[in-house]
Amino acid sequence: MAPVVWSHVGRILWLACLLPLAPVRVAAGMYELNLTTDGPATTGAEVTISASLVAKDNGSLALPTDAHLYRFHWIHTPLVLTGKMESDLSSTIRVVGNVPGEFPVSVWVTAADCWMCHPVARNFVVLPITEFLVGNIVVAQNTSLPWPSSYLTKTVLKVSFLLHDPSNFFKTASFLYSWDFGDGTQMVTEDSVVYYNYSIIGTFTVKLKVVAEWEQAKPDATNGIVQKTGDFSASLKLQETLRGIQVLGPTIIQTFQKMTVTLNFLGSPPLTMCWRLKPECLPLEEGECHPVSVASTAYNLTHTFRDPGDYCFSIRAENVISKTHQYHRIQVWPSSIQPAVFAFPCATLITVMLAFIMYMTLRNATQQKDMVENPEPPSGVRCCCQMCCGPFLLETPSEYLEIVRENNGLLPPLYKSVKTYTV
């Protein structure tokens, strides 16, 4: 028995050493091998691996019509071969792994009458074998969202566990499922499908522990309970539709006063928001305002009005699910500081003007009084006038006094008339 085993081992090692020695030109020739497998698998379960010989130039190269011209050579140790089947330029093997690990499986093709010749094509695949259950969690919902793993809150989720068992290894097993939805809710079921409804937004991790039990015959012809377990998880992002925008802020304000408005978004972030000030409450069109990214459910916007009047904040927001509009009217009154600011310079200007007018009036009155009280000009002035004016000067003081009386008609007369009464 021992010589036979060593003979097989020697042959496998010889083939393994022969494979790397093939020239690169032959390995990268006209044909190639496509490998498919239904792994990974749990220990004890059967795995199927298939190899197909195809042309490298997308099928324009004609393959030989006689499939018996080529032979497929497999290396799968330490996996146990349980079956092999060959047909038209393809070969399929079934293997079982009794210990966990990652095992390479190699295959190459040679001429049927010369299996020691250079291979026509070759390839390999790494097969994972685990001692745990193999499967995954699948989440489905009627409403599909554009983001991966995104779902709606307050909408029923269908959460399923799909066992990977292509060889029907667990056909006699019974399963127990322990669910943890990440929001404090846990449950245990015997069914692989559950329905759950998340009431709040956020990112949650669904954790599942699966236990499989079945009876298996022992070497002593008695039946024993065999158990395998597996831990699985899936990340879910729960979001809400944007139901509206709550605006918190004043409705009456004065000019040149900084105003702050708080926007509370009734939906799940992240979202995109934009706003614009209009004279009327009308929806915003695309491209009418600059979008702003908001990473929370609240946002503060500030603005300072310079002109009084009636205004309307037109606000648009949207997330990956929906969009909504909201409006906020506001009345802007003139600031109470403005009249005082403008009244001070006006009052100052008016006061200066009045003072100037009074000064000029008093000055004119003073000059006229001096002219009446001192009709005789100073000697220097009189001399100057006599020299400059020449013949224009009057001959006698009486004529001068007469002219003064005519020019100052409002002054009292120099003598008083005597009133006479007749009895």
- The alpha helices in 115-235, defined as continuous H runs, are none
C-alpha torsion angle, residues 239, 240, 241, 246 (rounded to 10): -130
Q: How far apart are CA 371 and CA 379, in angstroms?
A: 15
**Over 90: is that where the pLDDT of 79 sits?**
yes
User: How far, in Å, CA of 381 to CA of 370, rounded?
Assistant: 15
pLDDT band at residue 359 under the 50/70/90 scheme: confident
Does the pLDDT of residue 19 top 60, yes or no?
A: no
Q: What is the pLDDT of residue 24?
A: 34
Looking at residue 297, what is its pLDDT?
Answer: 85
User: Residue 383 has what pLDDT?
Assistant: 41
* pLDDT of 1 higher than 80: no
Tell me, what's the pLDDT at 89? 86
For 224, other C-beta atoms within 10 Å of its C-beta total 10
The 10s digit of each residue's pLDDT in 121-171 is 999 999 999 999 999 999 999 877 777 788 888 889 999 999 999 999 999
3-state DSSP assignment of residue 347: helix
* Residue 68 backbone class (left: φ over 0; alpha: ψ -120 to 50; beta: rest): alpha
SS3 of residue 370 by DSSP: helix
- CA-CA distance, 300 to 313, in Å (whole number)? 13
The pLDDT assigned to 271 comes to 84
**How many angstroms separate the CA atoms of 14 and 198, rounded?**
61
- Please tell me the pTM assigned to this model: 0.60
| Sequence-ordered strand ranges (E) for 70-156 | 70-75, 80-87, 90-96, 101-111, 121-130, 135-140, 150-152
Lowest mean pLDDT among 33-47, 118-132, 342-356: 342-356
Confidence of residue 7 (pLDDT cuts 50, 70, 90): very low
- Kindly tell me the number of DSSP H helices and DSSP E strands found in the chain: 5, 24
Domains and CATH numbers, the chain: 2-130 (2.60.40.10), 135-239 (2.60.40.10), 245-333 (2.60.40.2950), 356-407 (no CATH)
Q: Quick one: pLDDT at residue 319?
A: 81
pLDDT digits (tens, 9 = 90+) for 236-264: 988 888 878 889 989 999 998 888 999 99
3-state SS, residue 397:
helix
Q: Name which of 134-138, 220-224, 263-267 the model is least confident about.
A: 220-224
What's the pLDDT band for 201 if we cut at 50, 70, 90? confident
Strand partners, 72: 109
Any idea what DSSP says for residue 408? T
Residue among 121, 126, 94, 95 nearest 110 (CA): 121
Q: Which of 85-94, 378-387, 401-410 has the lowest mean pLDDT?
A: 378-387
Q: Three-state SS for 194?
A: strand
Report the alpha-carbon distance of residue 66 to residue 46 in Å, rounded.
Answer: 31
pLDDT for the residue 97: 94
pLDDT of residue 61: 53
Q: Residue 367: its pLDDT value, please?
A: 64
Per-residue pLDDT band at 366 (split at 50, 70, 90): low
**What strands lie across the sheet with 298-304, from one edge to the other?**
245-248, 258-265, 298-304
The angle subtended at Cα 384 by Cα 383 and Cα 385, nearest 5°, is 90
Q: H or E stretch including 399?
A: helix 397-407
Rounded to whole angstroms, the Cα distance separating 381 from 66 reads: 148
Q: CA dist 15 to 89, 103, 110, 119, 401, Å?
A: 21, 17, 12, 11, 154
If residue 360 lies in a helix (H) or strand (E), which one and from where to where? Answer: helix 337-373
Mean confidence (pLDDT) of the chain = 78
pLDDT band at 301 (very low <50, low <70, confident <90, very high): confident
Q: What is the pLDDT of residue 231?
A: 97
Which is more confident, 231 or 408?
A: 231
Instruction: Give yes or no for a contact between 50 and 35, defined as CB atoms under 8 angstroms apart.
Output: yes
Cα–Cα distance, 400 to 402 (Å, whole number): 5
Strand extents, DSSP E, 218-255: 223-239, 245-248, 252-254
- Judging by beta carbons within 10 Å of its beta carbon (0-12, 13-18, 19+), is residue 6 exposed, middle or buried? exposed
The predicted pLDDT at position 66 comes to 57
